[in-house]
Amino acid sequence: EIRRVTEGRIAGTDFVPSPLAHPHCMSVCAVIRLDDGGFLPFVRCASREAVFELLKGRLGPDPDEPLARFLREAAPSASRRAAGAIVLHASMDAEHFDVSRSMRCPVAVLGPDGAAIPACSWGVLHREAGR
């Protein structure tokens, strides 16, 4: 469990579904990196909805004005150096393959012809043919 491995610094409740992917496929824990080497999950200083909105169109927090504004508003007292993210991606296998989830996959693998194939489809439908 992530709570045990991170000694309580990260918990499952610190993750939000990625706005880019199907909610069952990808979760993101965006963190503020603190000067003392620690980190603070975004959802501990802002609502889950605010974090989800910040992540729209991206896999993690980008160093841009929306992130700077978020940090000023959500964690003004935190001594911070940077932001980052932990991304959990649940890949599908042949037994649990779901076309609708695969169609929302934001991660691509280039096929032999250069076409971008959703990573979820690649692992189930194309991997053997590509070897």
Task: Count Cβ atoms below 10 Å from residue 80 Cβ, excluding itself.
Answer: 15
**Which residues pair with residue 30 across a beta bridge?**
85
**Nearest CA-CA partner of 41 in 50, 33, 30:** 30
Q: Does residue 7 sit in helix, strand or coil?
A: coil
Q: What is the pLDDT of residue 77?
A: 60
pTM: 0.80
The pLDDT tens digits along the chain (131 residues) read 899 998 989 999 999 999 988 888 899 999 988 878 788 999 999 999 999 999 998 888 888 888 888 888 876 665 555 788 999 988 788 888 888 888 888 888 888 889 888 888 887 877 665 54
**Is 86 in contact with 31 (CB distance < 8 Å)?**
yes
- On the 0-12 / 13-18 / 19+ scale of CB atoms within 10 A, 105 is buried
Q: What is the pLDDT of residue 49?
A: 94
